[in-house]
Amino acid sequence: MRRFTLIAIPYLWLFALFLVPFLIVVRISFSYYELSIPPYGPQLDLSTGWDGVKAFFAELNWENYAFLTGDDLYWKAYLSSLKIALIATFFTLLVGFPIAYAMAKAAEEWRPMLMMLIILPFWTSFLIRVYAWIGILGTEGYLNQLLLGIGLIDAPLTILNTNVAVYIGIVYTYLPFMVLPIYAALEKMDDSLLEAAEDLGCTRTQAFWLVTAPLAKSGIIAGCFLVFIPSLGEFVIPSLLGGSDTLMIGKVLWEEFFSNRDWPVASTVAVILLLILIIPIILFQRNEQKQRETDG
């Protein structure tokens, strides 16, 4: 009996507050917009019994999906989210790998301290970390002041409210997610492997590509997915740092819901976003599983 309660409580909670809400989104994505409360139809009418249920299902349709695939705006938003997330993930790797590598090579007594320095920003408000860049990247921001001051540029650069600012925001906020898995992979590496490779005639660069890179591979893959997956649906960064032409699907969904109040379209946008995300999520889990098997 105790075991049953122990299982039932978290089970029912997640069922009621995760699965059911999501099924509601799926159901509304097959509905149509209507000026009523709630602003979509059809409504399930059980007073007419079985006929009501039949009428309800007859009225559900794929129209929103057809609309979304037909409309340029949404296609572009999905594609540009993918593009932004990919580019940002690449830059995060570029910035994160040397940090993780250096951490793994640091003296043992330094490592906990370095770890803490990487994790600390993660505990600090995400919103504030994004906000900090507004002051830096603006036309009169600190970066432009500095560059103008040392005479590197003649006119202020426009960075804020462009995609570049979004890349910087993503790299900055998601950096710990990239550094930690790579560090975890590299930390286990035995230095004598590199020595062996060099003894056998490899140059340092060759040894890096033949020994270090393959060993870091699973960490790199994990890190890339940990950055790519959340940044695809990102809302805060594009809306604070991006410009009006920065199209990201999280922002589109938000506006569709809060500004246009079109629940069916917002729900359809959500379902398609999730369908797109399934592929990287499955790949990520495979990588994790493979890693566990080689570890265990």
- Interacting residues with other proteins between 244 and 263 (CB under 8 A): 250, 253-254, 257, 263
Q: Does 106 bind other proteins (CB under 8 A)?
A: yes
Q: Could you give the string, one character per residue 205-234, with x where binding to other proteins holds by CB under 8 A and - elsewhere?
A: ------------------------xx-xxx
Query: Applying CB under 8 A, which of residues 42, 121, 156, 243 lies at the interface with other proteins?
Result: 121
Q: Does 66 bind other proteins (CB under 8 A)?
A: no
Q: Does 10 bind other proteins (CB under 8 A)?
A: yes
Q: Are strands 40-41 and 32-33 parallel, antiparallel or unpaired?
A: antiparallel
> What residues numbered 24-43 form the site for other proteins, per CB under 8 A?
24-25, 28, 38
Q: What is the closest distance, in whole angstroms, from the C-beta atom of residue 90 to other proteins in the complex?
A: 16
The 3-state DSSP class for residue 107 equals coil
Question: Which stretch in 56-64, 137-145, 150-158, 215-223 sits in contact with other proteins by CB under 8 A?
Answer: 137-145
Nearer to other proteins, 101 or 218 (CB): 101
Q: Does 46 bind other proteins (CB under 8 A)?
A: no
Question: For the chain, where are the E strands, in sequence order?
Answer: 32-33, 40-41
DSSP 173-195: HHHHHHHHHHHHHHHT--HHHHH
Cα dihedral 170, 175, 181, 182 sign:
positive
Q: What is the closest distance, in whole angstroms, from the C-beta atom of residue 39 to other proteins in the complex?
A: 10
Q: Does 62 bind other proteins (CB under 8 A)?
A: no
Q: Burial level of 90, CB count in 10 A (0-12/13-18/19+)?
A: middle
- Closest by CA to 102, choosing from 114, 86, 84, 91, is 114
Distance CA 35, CA 100 (A): 54
The 3-state DSSP class for residue 140 equals coil
Q: What is the closest distance, in whole angstroms, from the C-beta atom of residue 17 to other proteins in the complex?
A: 4
